[in-house]
Amino acid sequence: MEKLKTTDFRCLARRESNAQKRIRLLALAHFSEGHNRSEISNILKGKPYQYS
């Protein structure tokens, strides 16, 4: 978990050419800042994941 806090996901996202990976990296950046899944979804303009 400590490695998650020290990784600069925003920097990695800027260098990523694949859009889907870039969104995942941005989501990880927000998660490491303490946001929950719903907040991250709203920030990234997506729909919250629904477990069935």
Which pTM does this prediction carry?
0.74
What does the pLDDT look like over 1-52, one tens digit per residue?
566 667 899 999 999 999 999 999 999 999 999 999 989 988 888 666 665 5
List the chain domain ranges: 2-43
> How far is it, in rounded angstroms, from Cα 45 to Cα 11?
20
> How far is it, in rounded angstroms, from Cα 41 to Cα 49?
8
